[in-house]
Chains A and B, each alone.
Chain A
Amino acid sequence: MANNLIEFRNLRTNFYTSSGVVKAVNDVSFSIREGETLCVVGESGCGKSVTAMSLMRLVSPPGKTEGGQILYKGQDLLTLKERDMRHIRGNEIAMIFQEPMTSLNPVLTIGDQITEPLLIHKGMTRKDAKKRAIELIELVGIPRAAKIFDSYPHELSGGMRQRIMIAIALSCDPKLLIADEPTTALDVTIQAQILDLMRNIKSEFNTAIMMITHDLGVVAEMADHVVVMYAGKVIEEAPVHELFANPKHPYTQGLMRAKPIINQRQDRLYTIPGQVPNPVELGNNCYFNERCEHCMSLCVEKPPILTTYENKHKAACWLYEKGGEVS
């Protein structure tokens, strides 16, 4: 079994808004193993991206990471000096974002932007950095790399820009690549190409990937291991086959039922009733209770704890505990 590369332990990130404290990441623990693709799924606002930004220590005010640990190579990233953290960002942990159209600086050339991390982290000369940058552009599957090196972002399409973002992220051979919904803003064919590219990278460089998505199709295609988040908490965690074969949490079950199945005609897709609870007014209970078809009296009184079951399957639901109806 591979070693843990990153371990989140009881991470808490809060946002201090005018209407109250939002616990965007509320006591989250999971780990990413070397060379593994871990998918974090959940709907908008459930804390997936904030978890990733906390890992990069780039949560901007009014957000603040206030508790827990993020262990990387035995050291807690949250207590590192800013200088040392800078050395990890873009070098050992790199990140690509959802919006390729706006994620590149419009006034700097592609070359400038790819060579930047090489110059600061690897101490390369400009000449070597340029050579490496052109290799990287070719690696991510863009032809005429030398010409692209001198182009500006507005001259490239969305898919090409996302490839450039990946090239920037890969420039320093990171141990972990965080991809925050990398394909959400792209059309389906480009999505498939980008996912292919990421799979190749993983097998070629043995880079661990933390993929944030709300697309279960992407999860099925990419993941080794899946973490499901809801309202700032991890509610289920399992290897991908186990999760798809045997979803435990009613929320995950709902998500599985809500996805379309090819060759099966349906007038309407299933939807989970209700809405995500207001993050400011969360009580001391299971946050899913209002929408859950199995809601019991226990669920509104006490929050369930993430418990490990068979096949490395973890879930936080009273249904599987003693005292639950189903056990």
Chain B
Amino acid sequence: MTTQVIRRLLQTIPTLIGVSIVLVLIFHLIPGNFVDSNPTISKERAAELKEMYGLTDPVHIKYLKWAKGVATGDLGYSIQHKQPVTTIIDRYVWNSVLIAGVVLIFSWTIAIFVGVFSAVRQHSFYDGLITFLVFAVMSLPSFFIGLLAIKFFAVDNRIFPVGGMITTGANYEGWAHIWDVIEHMFLPVIVLTALNVGGLTRYFRTSMLDVIKQDFIRTARAKGLKERTVIFKHALRNALIPAITLLGFEIPGLFAGAMITEKIFNWPGIGSIFLNAINARDYFLMLGYTFFIAFLTIIGNVIADLLYRVADPRVRMK
């Protein structure tokens, strides 16, 4: 197992190099830069700044400079924030992880239960209702549900705060601070969960439907097992195996931040920071963050592969 892990991790290195080359090439192609967007700077000063930030280098020099930094854990310097990219990511990404983590737990739990029940009662009224609701919520864009949620729960009825992560001006400490953050999390978590749960529910329903038609489910019933044991011990374990791939992709999603939702709820997450970086052409922040997500995607895949080995004895290596 250990050698498997090491081998899989070593295999990621060429992939990462390939990804980094592609990223630098693409970002090099983006027109405009941070310095030129500021009209108050004189031409001479602008040229000087561009030279200083390395924006005028040819693409291969750019790449080598940047790659040298990455190899030592330095993702470059954000011109916009006047701080290293790693510092910026570290400051904001955890806010995004907080939201995304809670959303992940909620949406998966809800989707598994709802998906399983609508599979077990396929074609029933319940199944139809769930399918309808799922598609209704899925088809609404996040900015719409987000604003609707703000109107109902924050403006018309002041149940939850309108936005932000903490109450402005209130310097809560300890538990009061934690509760304050939780209160601010409610709306974005509800909106993101509602958006995520739909697709997942359909996924688990289909996966479960495939499994409960299998012969071994009939065997389990013929043994005299309770229906609950048949579904949750015999069927669900098999239905969850294909979901591991999905879980692997959730790992970068955890850190990627939800750009639009964070913007709407004014949540200080990495998603909205990245959106600003694109608008300001903050070259190294865009590059560093995208590379960071690419890295996590690859790691997520490795983790999914390894989880398959744990979950499915047919894939397990001797």
Contact = CB atoms under 8 A, between A and B. Distances in A.
Interface string A160-189: 000001001000000000000000000000
B238 A89 contact: no
B313 A107 contact: yes
Instruction: Report which residue of B214, B215, B225 has the largest number of chain A beta carbons within 10 angstroms of its beta carbon.
Output: B215
Instruction: Report which residue of B218, B241, B312 has the largest number of chain A beta carbons within 10 angstroms of its beta carbon.
Output: B218
Contacts of A89: 221-224
Mostly, the B contact residues are helix
B37 interface: no
What is the size category of the interface that chain B forms with chain A? Answer: 20 to 34
B96 to A, nearest CB: 34
B314 interface: yes
Contacts of A106: 216, 238, 312-314
Contacts of A116: 223, 225
Interface string B199-238: 0000000000000001110111111111000000010011
Interface string A82-105: 000011111100110101001111
A117 interface: yes
A117 B221 CA distance: 11
A56 B223 CA distance: 10
A152 B219 contact: no
B237 to A, nearest CB: 5
B129 interface: no
A121 interface: yes
Contact of A102 (B215, B220, B234, B312): B215
Interface in A30-83: 56, 58
B47 interface: no
B311 interface: yes
Nearest to B223: A90
A108 B222 CA distance: 17
Interface in B143-173: none
A55 to B, nearest CB: 11
Interface string A104-123: 11111100000011001100
Contact of B224 (A90, A104, A109, A154): A90
B313 A154 contact: yes
Contact of A58 (B218, B312, B314): B218
A107 B222 contact: no
A102 B311 contact: no
Given A56-B222, A89-B221, A105-B238, A152 B313 contact: yes
Given A106-B238, A106-B313, A108-B234, A121 B224 contact: yes
A107 B219 contact: no
A97 B238 CA distance: 20
Nearest to A116: B223
Given A89-B221, A105-B219, 9 more contacts: A58-B222, A88-B224, A99-B215, A106-B216, A106-B312, A116-B223, A117-B223, A120-B225, A168-B219
Interface of B: 214-216, 218-226, 234, 237-238, 241, 311-314
The 7 tightest CB contacts between A and B, nearest first, are A90-B224, A89-B224, A90-B223, A152-B313, A102-B215, A105-B216, A95-B222
19 contacts: A88-B224, A89-B221, A89-B223, A89-B224, A97-B218, A97-B219, A99-B215, A103-B218, A105-B219, A105-B234, A106-B216, A106-B312, A108-B234, A120-B223, A120-B225, A152-B313, A165-B219, A168-B219, A168-B223
